[in-house]
Amino acid sequence: MEIERINENTVKFYISYMDIEDRGFDREEIWYNRDKSEQLFWEVMDEVNEEEEFIIDGPLWIQVQAMDKGLEIVVTKAQLSKDGHKLELPSDTDKIIDLPIDEKVESLLDKGNFLNQKNTEEEIDDVDKEEEGEFESFSIMIRFQDIEHVIRLSQSIQSLEYYKDSLYHHDSSYYLFIEFEEDTLDDDAQENILSFILEFGEESGMTIHRLEEYGKLIYSENALATLKTHFPN
């Protein structure tokens, strides 16, 4: 796979059909099976993040072009506008392109120039619930290269009662899914906890849905507290 970092917000990579098949995917299946195409995309994005430190922390704008021998994919970080009604996409001239959030999103999905489902649907849903006064709890996925890193985190962290956490294993990595309870902590306190956790792992674009389907569940709840019990200081 060839990876090219365009700028801070954009990365382009080329993956051949042979590479796709070597990963266990069928070249035709990825066009018609959404689960398979998402699985391939996030597997590749994990490699892109490792090589280019392209951390996914919000909605993505994804462009896919089919070539004779593979796929050329351009991924750009987008963000919700301040009013929460548009997606802002940086252009080549560092200006902002506004994308209205409405039924047109689905038509973009069908055309191959699509907004990553993991982020856009969750962001849009959060905006609707915030307007209704029903904002959901905040969640984040943390990736660890080795179980020892998770154990060291469990031995060091003090704040265990303010969030739900589960632990999964998938493709030689460990994933800690953290969900903060609604209204238990303010933003600064959440940020402090996350900053500490990220000293042991890294934020991942892996979805909880993908892990539930393809990963191995280690602890469904109280993951860090359970590890701390089994591996005390």
pLDDT tens, 153-197? Answer: 999 988 777 788 999 999 889 999 998 876 667 778 888 888 999
Residues 161 and 107 in one domain: no
Q: What is the pTM of this model?
A: 0.47
Residues 29 and 108 in one domain: yes
Last residue of a domain, one of 87, 120, 153: 120
In a domain, 130, yes or no: no
Residues 8 and 100 in one domain: yes
Query: Could you tell me the CATH number of the domain that includes residue 162?
Result: 3.30.70.1950
Q: What tens digit of pLDDT does each residue of 10-66 get?
A: 889 898 988 888 888 887 778 778 888 888 888 888 888 888 888 876 777 888 888
Q: Which domain covers residue 105, as residue numbers?
A: 2-120
In a domain, 128, yes or no: no
Residues 14 and 112 in one domain: yes
Residues 147 and 223 in one domain: yes
In a domain, 125, yes or no: no
Residues 106 and 67 in one domain: yes
In a domain, 134, yes or no: no
Neighbour count for residue 40 (Cβ, 10 Å)? 19
Q: 3-state secondary structure string, the chain?
A: CEEEECCCCEEEEEEEHHHHHHCCCCCCHHHHCHHHHHHHHHHHHHHHHHHHCCCCCCCEEEEEEECCCEEEEEEEECEECCCCCEEEEECCCCCEEEEECCCHHHHHHHHCEEECHHHHHHHHHHHHHHHCCCCCCCEEEEEECCHHHHHHHHHHCCCCCCEEEEEEEECCEEEEEEEECCCCCCHHHHHHHHHHHCCCCEECCCCHHHHHHHCEEEECCCHHHHHHHHCCC
In a domain, 63, yes or no: yes
- Residue 221 — very low, low, confident or very high, per pLDDT cuts 50/70/90? very high
Residues 66 and 144 in one domain: no
Residues 37 and 109 in one domain: yes
Q: How far is CA 150 from the centre of its chain?
A: 19
Last residue of a domain, one of 93, 120, 147: 120
Instruction: Give the CA distances from residue 169 to residues 115, 139, 142, 143, 228, in Å, rounded to whole numbers and listed in that order.
Output: 27, 18, 12, 10, 18
Residues 148 and 98 in one domain: no
Q: How many helices (DSSP H) and strands (DSSP E) are in the chain?
A: 9, 13
**pLDDT value of residue 188:** 81
Residues 157 and 55 in one domain: no
Q: What tens digit of pLDDT does each residue of 108-154 get?
A: 333 333 334 334 444 444 444 444 444 446 788 999 999 999 999 99
In a domain, 131, yes or no: no
Residues 163 and 201 in one domain: yes
In a domain, 132, yes or no: no
Are the C-beta atoms of 35 and 27 separated by less than 8 Å? no
Last residue of a domain, one of 120, 147, 175: 120
In a domain, 127, yes or no: no
Residues 143 and 116 in one domain: no
Count of the separate structural domains present in the chain: 2
Which two structure tokens, joined as six digits, stand for 18? 């042979």
